[in-house]
Structure 1
Amino acid sequence: MAGIAACAILTLYRIVLFYFDRTDLFVDESQYWLWSQDLDFGYYSKPPLIAWTIRLFTDLSQSDSIFWVRLPVPLFHFATALILGSLAQYLYDARVSCWVMISYITMPAVTLGSAVISTDTIMAPFFSLALLFYFRLLNEDKARYALLAGAMAGVAFLAKYAGIYFVICAVLAAVFISKARPSWRNGLLVLVTFAVVITPNIIWNYLNDLTTFEHTLDNADWVRRNTSDIDLRYLKLAEFFFSQFGVFGPILFGSLIASVYKAREADARILLFFSVPIILIVCVQALLSKAYANWAAAAYFAGTVVVVAGLLQERFYRLLRLSVWIGVVIALGLPFLTAIADHVSIDGEKPALKRLLGRERLSQELIAAAKEHNADIILAGGRDILADLFYTGRDADVVIRSIPPRGRAWNYYQAKFPLDENTPGQTVLWVAGRPTVECDGKIIEPVRELTTEGGAYHGGAMFVFMMDRECFDG
C-alpha cells in the first residue's frame, strides 16, 4: 500500500501543477492533437493510439486546452507503476513490488514523460501488461494468458512501433532460456493475437503508400545507403549510451549493466532479455546513424523490476534509497519548473525550457498579421511553425498551408496540407527566415518582423510577407 500511496501522491502533484504550467505544446504534441481531429488507423509517422487517447480525453472534457491534451500522461504512468508492481509481486514479493512502483514513478524519463505527451507514455502500460501476462503464461501455461499477452503487445505496437520489441525479446529469451519457452500452441497464440491486433494499422500503411514505413527508413537512414557509404559514428554511440544514465537514472542504469553479469535466477535473466537487447539494438542504430535518448524507453519496464529486485537481494538498501531520492528531487522539481518557465534561465538570456516556450506567441502574431492584412492563407515551410499554427489557430478563420514538397513529402503537413490548386483564397501571408523575398523579379519587403526572443526560436529572425498565390505557382 505504501508504494501505491506514494505513486498516487506524486501523480496528483503532477496533475495539480498542470494548472500552473506555463509551457506551450511541443511540436510533436501539437501534431498528435491535430491527428486526433481525424481519427484513423495510422498517421504519417506514428501508429494511431496516441491520437485516439487525446481525442478521448478532449471529448470527455469538451476542451482542447493543453491541460486536457496532456492529462493522460501522469495517469498512464501511474497505471504503469501499478502494473509493474503487480509483476514484481508475482515474481518476487511485496517489498520488491513497493520499491519497483516508487522507482518507476520517480524515474527521470517518467518525470519528463509526465510533462509532455508522447508515444512512449501511451505504450508504457500496455507493454507492461504484456510482460505481466507473458510471465503468467510461462509459469501457468494457460491459453488466456497467451491471448492477453499477445493482445497487449499488439496494443503497445499501436501506441509506438517499439512495441515490436516485445516479440523480438520473447523470441530471444526462448532461444537461450528453457523457462522462457511456452508451449508451441500458446507461443503461436501470442503471435497470432499480436498480428490480429496490429492488422488494421498494417492495412492502413499498405493503403497509404507505406507512409510510416518510409518515415522509419528516414530515421534509420543507413538502410538506404550503400555499405561503402556507412560511417561508424562512435561519438553518437557514446552520446546515446551515456544519455541512458539520465533516462533510467545513474544508479539504476549502472545496476542494470551489473545485472547482466550477476543475474542467475531464470526470471531475472528473462527480464534482462526484455531489456538489454532493446538497448543494444538502439546502440547499433546510434553507431550507424543517430538515436535519441528515449528510443530505448521500452527497455526500462522489465529493467526496473530486475534492477530493483537485484539491489534488494544484494542488500544495497542505501543505494536504492539514494536512487529514489535523486528521482524524487527531479520529480518534484520539473513540474515546478514548468510553472515558472518564463523566469528560469541557465545563461541569463534563454529560458531553460525554451523549446516549450514562444510557440503560441509566434502563432498569435501570425494570425493577427493575417487578419490585419486580410490574408486568405498563412503559408510556412517549417514543421515547428505549422504544428503550433494548427493548434493555436484552431478557432481562427484562416487557412493554414505548407510549402509544397519537391518530390516525396518529408513531414505530415507537406503530405496533408500543401498549398495546391484545391486551396481556397488568393492572398498569402508567408513566414520566412530572410528579410526579403522575390516574386517575378520583384523584391518584396516584409510587413512585419516576428518576435523570436525568449522561446523556441530565440536567436533567429522571422519575417512576414504579403504575396499573391501566383508567386507560388509551380
Structure 2
Amino acid sequence: MATKDHEKGLLDLLFSIEGLFLLIILAFRLGFVREISLQLSPDEAYYWDWSRELSWGYYSKPPMVAWLIAAFTRFLGVSEYAVRVPAVLCGLGFLVIFYRLTHRLFGRLPARWALFAAALVPIFTVFGLLMTIDPPLLFFWTAALYWGWLAAEKNRRFHWLSLGIFCGLGLLTKQTMLAFGFFYGLWLLAFRRELLRTPGPWLALVVALVLWAPNLYWMATHQWITLRHTEHHFREQGLNPAGPLRFLAEQAGVFTPLLFGLFLWVSLEMLRRRNWRAEPRLTYLWALSAWPYLAVLPLSFFRRVNANWPMPFFVAGLGLAAGVIFSLRGTRWPRILRGLYALGLLLAFLGTALVYQLPRFPEKFPRPLAGLLFRFYGWKELASVVRKYRRPGEVILTDNRYFASELAFYLPDHPRVYQFPVLNPPRSQYHLWGLPSHLGGRPVLWVGRHPSPPSTAFLKLTSGKIPLPGGRFLSYHIFRGTLTPSVPGP
C-alpha cells in the first residue's frame, strides 16, 4: 500500500480543494435549513422542550442535545432554523475531522475520496440537517477516533487527555459511546498491548468518567431511568432468521449498496490477508467498524435494529474502504475497485439529491417516499386549531408527548404543555416533570390523539384529521374542562 504523506493543518485545509468543498457544503446546508419549510419532527421538538429546563440528564437521553439547542436558541431565538443549526455545524465538524483522520492515515488522495463519500452518503446528510442526538454523537465519535489514533501513535499525555475529553462528551450525548471505549480497548489489547502498561489509556478513561459522572449521578437519583429506557432496545421481539439479512440490506440502503459492499469486502479481506493485519492503521479502523458491526449482527435475529444505531461504526468503515482501495498498487484490480467506489459515490449523490428534494416537493414523489416525511407535517396546523379554541389562562393537557412538544413549540407563547396522566414508571420526560400542584382547579384545554379526556365532565369542542404526506392523517380531539384540585405533583 502507498505510504501516507504529510497531514494537513487546518489552515492548509481551508485553502485547498477539500476546504472549498467543505465551505460549499456548509453554505448549502445552512441555506437549505433556513429556506426549507420543514416543521420540526417530534423528537426535535421534544429535545427543544428539554432545552428550556437544562439538567444533567433526561428521561431517555443524556443532556448534550438539550444543551446545544439551548445555546443556539438563546442566541438566535426560537425557530426551526435555530434548533437545526447545531446539527449543521456538528455535520461540518464531523467531515473536517474525518478528513484529517483519513489524511493522516493514508494521504491526500484516499482522504479526498473518503471526504466526498462522507459528505454524500444519505444518512450522514440527513443527520447534518436534523437536530437529534446523532449529529453531536457523530462529531464526538469521529473526534475520539482521530485522537484515539494520535494517542496510540505518539503516546503523549495531551493526546490521551483529548481522547478522554471527546469520549466523555460523547457519553454526555448517547450511550452508544460506550461501544467506542469497549472496542478501542479491545484493539489496544489485541494489537497495542504495550500501551496498556503506560498511564495514557487510563488517563483517558478517568477523564471520560469524570465528564460523565454528573449524568451518572443524575441517573442514580432518578432510578437509572435512562439506562432502563435504553435496555428496552435490547429486549427480544421473537426469533427472526431473516433479521441479519434485513439489517444488512437496510445498512446498504442508507450508506448505498456499493460503498457498504466495499466496506464488507475490505473487512473480510482483513481476515484473509496477514500483511494487512500487520498494519496498525488498518487494524485500528477495522476494530472500530467491522468488530462492532459483528457484535450487533446477532441482535438482529431477535429484534429490529434501527438503521441509525450502528451509524458511527461506518465512520471508520468508510475510512477503511477508501484508504485500502485508493492505496492499492497495481493496475487492473485496483482500477476495478476504484470504479466501483466512484459508482458508489454517484449513487450516494443521487440519494442525497433525493434527500434535499423530497421535503421541497413531496407531492412529486411516489406515496411511499412522500410518506417518509409524515412526522414533519401537521403540527403548525394543529397549533392553529388549538389557538382558535384556547382561552387566555387555560392550561393545555395532552395524552401524547408528540402533541406536548409540538404544541409547546408552535403555539406563539410557547406554553408549558403537560402530559396526563402522569405514569409511574414514567414513559417520557413529561411524566418525570409531572404536574404542578397549582394546576388543580384551573381551566384546561385537552388536546388528545385519542378521545379520552381526564374526566367525563369535560366538554367536547371538536375533532378532526389533518392530511399528511403519503396518505396519512394526524387525528386530534379537543375538550374543555377543569382539573380536580388533587392532581399529581411533580
TM-score of the aligned structures, taking structure 1 as reference length:
0.89
> AA paired with 1:318?
G
For 2:426 and 2:245, the matched residues in 1 are separated by 32
Q: CA deviation at 1:20?
A: 2.1
Is this contact kept in 1: 2:440–2:484, CA < 8 A? no
Match of 2:171 among 157, 162, 169: 157
- Pairs within 5 Å for 1:412-451: 412-418=429-435, 421-423=437-439, 425-433=441-449, 439=455, 446-451=460-465
Is this contact kept in 2: 1:21–1:335, CA < 8 A? no
Q: CA deviation at 1:7?
A: 2.5
Please name the residue that 2:306 is paired with. 292
For 1:381 and 1:190, the matched residues in 2 are separated by 44
Secondary structure of the residue that 1:234 maps to in structure 2? coil
Q: Mean alpha-carbon deviation: is it higher for 162-171 or for 1-10? A: 1-10
Q: Quickly say closer, same or farther: Cα 1:180–1:60, change in 2 above 3 A.
A: farther
Provide Cα deviations, 1:18-73, integer angstroms capped at 9, x if missing partner. Answer: 22212110111011111111222211111111111111112222x11101110122
Match of 1:24 among 39, 45, 68: 39
Q: Quickly say closer, same or farther: Cα 1:394–1:277, change in 2 above 3 A.
A: farther
Gaps of 5+ in 1: 223-229
Q: CA deviation at 1:167?
A: 0.6
Please name the residue that 2:49 is paired with. 34
For 1:35 and 1:436, the matched residues in 2 are separated by 26
Is this contact kept in 1: 2:46–2:402, CA < 8 A? no
> AA paired with 2:83?
V
Please name the residue that 2:388 is paired with. 368
Is this contact kept in 2: 1:58–1:64, CA < 8 A? yes
Please name the residue that 1:169 is paired with. 183
Q: CA deviation at 1:149?
A: 1.0
Secondary structure of the residue that 1:125 maps to in structure 2? helix
Q: Mean alpha-carbon deviation: is it higher for 82-91 or for 463-472? A: 463-472
Identity of aligned residues (%): 21
> AA paired with 1:256?
F
For 1:254 and 1:108, the matched residues in 2 are separated by 15
Is the counterpart of residue 411 in structure 1 residue 425 in structure 2?
no
Please name the residue that 2:360 is paired with. 339
Gaps of 5+ in 2: 1-15, 271-275, 329-333
> AA paired with 1:171?
G
Q: CA deviation at 1:408?
A: 0.7
Is this contact kept in 2: 1:237–1:283, CA < 8 A? yes
Q: Quickly say closer, same or farther: Cα 1:400–1:425, change in 2 above 3 A.
A: farther
For 1:101 and 1:299, the matched residues in 2 are separated by 16
Is this contact kept in 1: 2:465–2:473, CA < 8 A? no
Match of 2:266 among 243, 259, 262: 259
For 1:317 and 1:336, the matched residues in 2 are separated by 29
Q: Mean alpha-carbon deviation: is it higher for 283-292 or for 299-308? A: 283-292
- Pairs within 5 Å for 1:147-296: 147-178=161-192, 181-222=195-236, 231-263=238-270, 264=276, 265-296=279-310
Is this contact kept in 2: 1:7–1:101, CA < 8 A? no
Q: Quickly say closer, same or farther: Cα 1:25–1:196, change in 2 above 3 A.
A: same
Q: Quickly say closer, same or farther: Cα 1:161–1:376, change in 2 above 3 A.
A: same
Is this contact kept in 2: 1:81–1:100, CA < 8 A? no
Q: Quickly say closer, same or farther: Cα 1:358–1:303, change in 2 above 3 A.
A: same
For 1:88 and 1:170, the matched residues in 2 are separated by 17
For 1:262 and 1:68, the matched residues in 2 are separated by 45
Please name the residue that 2:342 is paired with. 321
Is the counterpart of residue 12 in structure 1 residue 47 in structure 2?
no
Provide Cα deviations, 1:183-214, integer angstroms capped at 9, x if missing partner. Answer: 43212122112111211211121122212112
For 2:419 and 2:140, the matched residues in 1 are separated by 35
Q: Aligned pair count? A: 459
Q: CA deviation at 1:409?
A: 0.8
Please name the residue that 1:225 is paired with. none
For 1:21 and 1:308, the matched residues in 2 are separated by 33
Secondary structure of the residue that 1:295 maps to in structure 2? coil
TM-score of the aligned structures, taking structure 2 as reference length:
0.86
Secondary structure of the residue that 2:439 maps to in structure 1? coil
Q: Mean alpha-carbon deviation: is it higher for 110-119 or for 343-352? A: 343-352
Secondary structure of the residue that 1:409 maps to in structure 2? coil
> AA paired with 1:427?
P
For 1:399 and 1:163, the matched residues in 2 are separated by 32
Match of 2:476 among 462, 467, 472: 462
Is this contact kept in 2: 1:22–1:340, CA < 8 A? no
Is this contact kept in 1: 2:374–2:470, CA < 8 A? yes
